Structure 1
């Protein structure tokens, strides 16, 4: 469940509390020295109207977040009347500063209109003070206006910083979504290309085994196993795409430990494949183990496509700080077109390996053997 409504309600509830506390604070005798004054007119005794004006400068803060301009308008009018009538100083006049900040930080529309109306209203207020023979001069009025403008500017800076933070978070979310889409597309390519290629090759070879019912049965079993593997991995990927809000039931991702089964499936399909493991198996992070598995899977897929029937050797060397993988295919084309399966083969492998801090290279050697080499750190950052 989203927490945004709860946060919105909490913020709105905080303003009435602020207004209530500030109102009580404004009527305490010792807080009068904190008040803001303008005009320096001879003071008149406090009466009921003075109390009403003080409440008008504090209570509207309860809705400053919902209606910042309206809240500021009420506070500003009450402040102007309070100073024009010349009531004694009160801490409630500080509500004007809070209202000014709120307009700068929270007002969405009609910002220019609010600025013009406020400036005109302040000019009228200054004229009223002048007509009442206020000892303040033009410099005092300009200085007070500059202080009010500073309050609005602080609010605008906070608003800008908040907007930049929202934009940054949105950009991060979009980047994360794009990366996730790229990852899923790459996974789909690896799963579909490998398994479908294996099934096509196996089914094509089955028609030549009609003289041996046992071999036909084994071939069909291999095709069925390959299809089930593909469905299992596809279900795992599709569960991530479900927009249910629930945690996807992700199955176990393939890792280097599963390479032996992968080699067995390819071998059963008629491709002569040999697996050589050196050193003691090392536990890899999930992403690193998956990257290593995909390297072998993609290389074997292309060996079946471009070097069918020729010997392929898979070597996995477990070292203290990294795992070295090499898939060497004899009889492959010097520069096989790895883009036939969607353009993500070799480039996708290199990107995947680099993401876990490893390196990948591929190419034909002088002996005509096409080799795919990958080095993956055991302490991969992924």
Structure 2
């Protein structure tokens, strides 16, 4: 027995066969319903993403609902309040919703009148200014609600406006935050006295529970306001921290650029005055000063471009990279400082932040060597691994001969101002690396940085 025979109802006659004129195969095709094998989708189902109709409809409805929510949130608060008040007013006169309205006092209900309509409007229309003047909104809505209950007007959906007004006071009241609740409490006491004088059957429990409900609604609005204010404070603090971090970053960059190049130019200019007897060496020194000044201007222009914050990508070739450390060493060597460069391993594909950190480490170390250990042998070693780039700069010197201004204090700062090495430490550690700098026991100074290849962007 075939699968079709197993599932076919015996009471239903077998479908007749007809030629397959569509496919051209000439084979018989069932004339009745066709059973699809599991896992096989029709062309229309494939075109619709394979989703059944009952699943596609809710997805489309959810998408439209999200668009509607975003459209509503983007509208100004005053406009939303007016539109909400209009809809709320229309619903207040819908008879099926009358039983949903708030009611207190249980006084006999009288027939509707023009006064009842006016009091209903008084509980609905002030909602249009609930965020702009929440206190005034509560005063009008609360008074209308109290008079509406005392006169025994028919129930109305608009009486829920009292809850809306109380929530708005808690969420949007900025002035007289303590005065408004006190005034509302006094008004409620007066309202209760009037109801009692009019013969309200409400008991003590009713008079105590109703203000608790009102206080809960007001507290919900106050909680929303508190969360909103806390979020605003958090955003302000985050903005201040971001500004401070950006200032520190730019200060580090300016220090690294200005200190290095200006120091090199000062040293070279000082040496040039003793080379008047050797025109060739004097011209070489002047050319070095000129090229150093041009490089300083180029890097300053780069920093100014960053400060402009145009949103464009950084120009290619204007950010120093470890591949140009050789040029940096050559510049320092041309200024009279004996420097040796050793590069080991193949440079990995590292990010701009890691490249700049490695370059600045060498730059600051050579600047300190020129300032505090002029004429002493300096070794620059770059070690590349697939995941790290290590930078080591060692300045030779006699034991105890390291300049005091370059030596670190116990707190990690430096007598020379400390911005250079301290800034390097912050730069490297921000990228997840390790940084050490200090005097060597045998004399001289050592700077070492271990920078992750994939750190920073």
**TM-score where L is the length of structure 2:** 0.77
Shift of 1:63: 0.7
Other-structure match for 1:177: 243
Are 1:28 and 2:94 an aligned pair? yes
Q: Distance in 1 between matches of 2:302 and 2:91?
A: 61
* Mean CA deviation greater in 358-367 or 213-222: 358-367
Q: Secondary structure at the match of 2:342?
A: strand
Are 1:331 and 2:393 an aligned pair? no
Query: Could you say if the C-alpha distance between residues 230 and 249 of structure 1 is closer, same or farther in structure 2, counting changes exceeding 3 Å?
Result: farther
Other-structure match for 1:316: 382
Other-structure match for 1:349: 424
Shift of 1:31: 0.9
Other-structure match for 2:269: 203
How many aligned positions are there? 375
Uncovered stretches (5+) of structure 2, i.e. residues with no partner: 1-72, 407-413
Shift of 1:235: 3.0
Are 1:145 and 2:216 an aligned pair? no
* Mean CA deviation greater in 360-369 or 20-29: 360-369
Other-structure match for 2:188: 122
Q: Distance in 1 between matches of 2:276 and 2:456?
A: 51
Are 1:296 and 2:371 an aligned pair? no
Q: Distance in 1 between matches of 2:250 and 2:417?
A: 14
Matches within 5 A, 1:79-228: 79-228=145-294
Shift of 1:366: 4.6
Q: Distance in 1 between matches of 2:381 and 2:324?
A: 14
Q: Secondary structure at the match of 2:271?
A: helix
- The answer to which structure, 1 or 2, has the higher relative contact order (CA under 8 A, 6+ apart) is 1
Shift of 1:85: 0.8
Are 1:379 and 2:454 an aligned pair? yes
Q: Provide Cα deviations, 1:269-295, integer angstroms capped at 9, x if missing partner.
A: 121222221111123222221111111
Q: Distance in 2 between matches of 1:323 and 1:249?
A: 25
Uncovered stretches (5+) of structure 1, i.e. residues with no partner: 1-6
Q: Distance in 2 between matches of 1:71 and 1:54?
A: 14
Task: Specify the structure having the higher radius of gyration (Cα).
Answer: 2
Contact 1:76 1:96 in 2 (8 A): yes
Q: Provide Cα deviations, 1:196-220, integer angstroms capped at 9, x if missing partner.
A: 1101111111122223322222211
Q: Secondary structure at the match of 2:280?
A: helix
Q: Distance in 1 between matches of 2:435 and 2:113?
A: 85
Could you tell me which of 120, 124, 127 is aligned with 1:58?
124
Q: Secondary structure at the match of 1:380?
A: coil
Q: Distance in 1 between matches of 2:363 and 2:175?
A: 58
Q: Distance in 2 between matches of 1:205 and 1:351?
A: 34
**TM-score where L is the length of structure 1:** 0.92
Shift of 1:131: 1.3
Shift of 1:66: 0.4
Shift of 1:117: 1.7
Shift of 1:381: 5.1
Other-structure match for 1:237: 303
Q: Distance in 2 between matches of 1:182 and 1:249?
A: 21
Are 1:361 and 2:429 an aligned pair? no
* Mean CA deviation greater in 217-226 or 100-109: 217-226
Query: Could you say if the C-alpha distance between residues 31 and 160 of structure 1 is closer, same or farther in structure 2, counting changes exceeding 3 Å?
Result: same
Q: Secondary structure at the match of 2:274?
A: helix
- Tell me how large the CA RMSD over aligned residues is: 2.1
Contact 1:186 1:344 in 2 (8 A): yes
